[in-house]
Structure 1
Amino acid sequence: MALKAQAPDGLVYVSLAQLMALEADAQGLSFLARQPRASVLAGSHASRVRGRGLNFDELRRYQPGDDLRHLDTKASLRSGTPIVRTYTEERDRPALMVIDQRMSMFFGSQRSFKSALAAELAALAAWMALKGGDRVGALVFDDSRIESISPLRSRSRVQAICAAIARFNQALDARAEESDSTSSLDNVLQRCLSVAAHDHLICIISDFAGATERTLHQLRQLRAHNDVIALQVYDPLALELPREGRIMVSQGQLQVELAVERRQVHTPLSDFLKGRLQEVAVLLRRSQVPLMMFSTALPAAEQLRLELGKRQGYHP
């Protein structure tokens, strides 16, 4: 049956107005490096964002003020006069946001749900791309659907992306049945491969539930000809279970209450949650896709600014 869209509150369900308002928070933020070694992909990762490339334009005579590094030695020797190679900078490139709104994301023990945090991160990334002069598109997906929005450099395109995210987000409902998370994740990455053949900036925002070796292979394929960044959202409960009290675990209409103060419950559940989070992080690092992790306990913009500041030497 069709589920009724939920009223937005900003933390469980987001609104279009909320996502559009994040334009101000995206000011001054960029995934691109300010210095060659300060990229978001630097550090423990094997590669870095390529940034906009330079396309060869023409050979012409040297003029005062030209960059001497662009001197063409062979052409200069042939002509007997200094010759330089000129380039034009790529003005924009497609940026593709891949936003997870599956039932596995519909959870949160502190502040917001993972699905709401992912929605805000996606809006911030879209605004960042547009302000950087890029065309912006998106793939928004849940357990059964994928909505594709082709890249375009305009505010109206960012608005269309935010509207799609809000629709998917508000359709989430605890009464819905969760489908195969592995299949839906791999399906959207396969669609991504067909949409982003090369020279895209791809920003994947997900909890990466259901990630497998096939997911790893698809990420490597995407990374071969594109810049790919993974933003993994998680709930603090996965890192530290409370020592007492009870927690409710739900999957669709099935709910189970667990007494976490009991050792035989706390230890295996804690080990499972921590282990799964670490498994996904290891898999993403094996793909050599840069990974940034975001907790539901803190606001999206605050965490993104902090993460980019760490990597790029940014100071508000």
Structure 2
Amino acid sequence: MDTSDILKKVRKIEIKTRRLSNNIFAGQYHSAFKGRGMAFSEVREYQYGDDVRDIDWNVTARFHKPYVKVFEEERELTVMLLIDVSGSLDFGTSGRLKKDVVTELAATLAFSAIQNNDKIGVIFFSDRIEKYIPPKKGKTHILYIIREMLDFSPQSRKTDINKALEFLLRVAKRKCTTFLISDFYARNDFKDAITICNRKHDLVAIQVYDKSAKELPNIGLMKVVDAETGHEMFIDTGSRRLRQAHAQYWADRQAALKDIFNKSNTDNISVATDGDFVKPLLQLFAMRS
């Protein structure tokens, strides 16, 4: 993809995702993801009903009458996007690849965050840390992130979610809001890592999937390729037994994933490549408000 094509795509995604974040998500994002706590704002004269624990004794002594400290919510957050760039994301049967949906989702969250004056950082991961973009503010930074998502070529096609979470724990010293965006096709167990990470940070898991993972189309003999290992094989999608086994595998896998999220107390949503991510995101925000 040449530079002009990338810039056109960046602009297209910016227009779409900024509109979503401005018109739909701004208020919901603010209430769903709170700041770190209360920050001192100013002092004012004591009024009947004020908490005596808020009295500023130094100012009170200076002016010979009681003054109280006024606090306001400390809104500024650091938001980290943990983005899966492994080979399995380079797939889609509905006109959009999983990685296209991931890019739009991440951009929408990023624009919602900067409206609230939050910093945004990104960790691209496969079975290794592919790229780390430290948290910063501003539209220029967001556009750089979108461009990287569009034009990034990972060194590996495999997945290791543990590596991403362990790296986050090393680089993020203060509590941050973290969106882990993946299809969660991981060959190793990440339950302990996600539990530890969610204790230190505010972790949200967003699963992106294609409808063919849920239900195989009946189109006869079909060649399938494992995007992460390159293994190829032919399957007969005309076989009802095969389609039922495929559907059962999906159901079992989703149940196991939900169990991990429930036991680690991790908020989560799922987004399909042939669907709209607006409704799931709004449900997520409402659930947290």
TM normalised by structure 2 equals: 0.81
Contact (CA 8 Å) 2:54, 2:69: kept in 1 or not?
no
Deviation at 1:312, TM superposition (A): 5.2
Aligned equivalent of 1:125: 109
Give, in whole Å, the separation in 1 of the partners of 2:30 and 2:18: 20
Match for residue 207 of structure 1? 183
Query: Which residue is 1:227 aligned to?
Result: 202
Q: CA deviation at 1:275?
A: 1.8
SS of the residue corresponding to residue 277 of structure 2 reads helix
Identity rate of aligned residues, in percent?
Answer: 21
Please report how far the alpha carbon of residue 117 of structure 1 lies from its aligned counterpart in structure 2 after TM superposition: 1.0
DSSP-derived class of the 1:99 partner: strand
**How big is the shift at 1:75?**
5.0
Q: Does 1:283 align with 2:260?
A: yes
Structure 1 counterpart of 2:51, from 71, 82, 96: 71
> Does the 8 Å CA contact 1:50/1:227 hold for their aligned counterparts?
no
Q: Name the structure 2 match of 1:20.
A: 14
Structure 1 residue 73: Cα displacement: 5.3
* Secondary structure in 2 matching 1:198: coil
Q: 1:140–1:164: 8 Å Cα contact kept in structure 2?
A: no
1:72 partner letter: V
Structure 2: gaps (5+ residues) = none
Does structure 1 residue 94 correspond to structure 2 residue 88?
no
Residue 45 (structure 1) aligns with: none
Q: Which amino acid aligns with 1:198?
A: R
Summarize the alignment of residues 183-202 of structure 1 with structure 2, pairs less than 5 Å apart. 184-202=160-178
> CA shift at 1:177, angstroms?
7.4
How far apart are 1:294 and its partner, in Å? 0.3
Partner SS, residue 273 of structure 1: helix
Give the letter aligned to residue 280 of structure 1. L
Query: Alignment length, in residue pairs?
Result: 277
Cα gap change, 1:74/1:285 in structure 2, threshold over 3 Å: closer, same or farther? Answer: closer
Tell me the secondary structure at the aligned position of residue 238 of structure 2: coil
Amino acid at match of 2:246: L
- CA spacing shift, 1:249–1:6, aligned 2, 3 Å: farther
Q: What amino acid maps onto 1:71 in structure 2?
A: D
Corresponding residue of 1:112: 96
Letter in 2 for 1:121: L
In the alignment, the residues of structure 1 paired with residue 216 and residue 18 of structure 2 have an alpha-carbon distance, to the nearest angstrom, of 35
TM-score (norm 1): 0.74
CA distance, structure 1, for counterparts of residue 85 and residue 2 of structure 2: 14
Separation of aligned partners in 1, 2:238 and 2:3? 35
Partners of 2:3 and 2:241 in 1: CA distance: 39
1:237 aligns with 2:217: no
Native 8 Å contact 1:72 1:85 kept in 2: no
Looking at structure 2, the residues matched to 8 and 248 of structure 1 have their Cα atoms a distance apart, in angstroms, of: 35
Question: Matches of 2:209 and 2:286 in 1, distance apart?
Answer: 25
* 8 Å CA contact retained: 1:146, 1:188: no
Higher helix share: 2
Given the superposition, is the C-alpha separation of residues 97 and 216 from structure 1 closer, same or farther in structure 2, using an over 3 Å criterion?
same
Equivalences for residues 3-42 of structure 1 within 5 A: 15-21=9-15, 22-28=17-23, 29-30=25-26, 32=29, 34=31, 39=32
User: How many angstroms apart in 2 are the aligned matches of 1:287 and 1:82?
Assistant: 47
State the Cα deviation string for residues 268-296 of structure 1 (Å, max 9, x = none).
22222332233223212221110011001
Deviates more, 1:272-281 or 1:115-124: 272-281
Residue 138 of structure 1: how far off its partner (Å): 0.8
Which of 45, 48, 59 aligns to 1:61? It is 45
The one-letter amino acid paired with 1:20 is: E
Q: 1:250 aligns with which of 225, 231, 237?
A: 225
Residue 259 of structure 1: aligned partner: 236
CA distance in 1, matches of 2:30, 2:114: 17
SS in 1 for 2:257: helix
Taking a change above 3 Å as real, the CA distance of residues 71 and 101 of structure 1, as seen in their structure-2 partners, is: same
AA of the residue aligned to 1:87: F
Cα 1:54–1:145, aligned 2, differ >3 Å: closer, same or farther?
closer
CA RMSD of aligned residues (A): 3.4
Deviations 1:158-183 (A, max 9, x none): 11211211122xx37xxx9743x2xx
Q: What per-residue deviation string (whole Å, max 9, x for no partner) do you get for residues 111-130 of structure 1?
A: 31111111111111111111
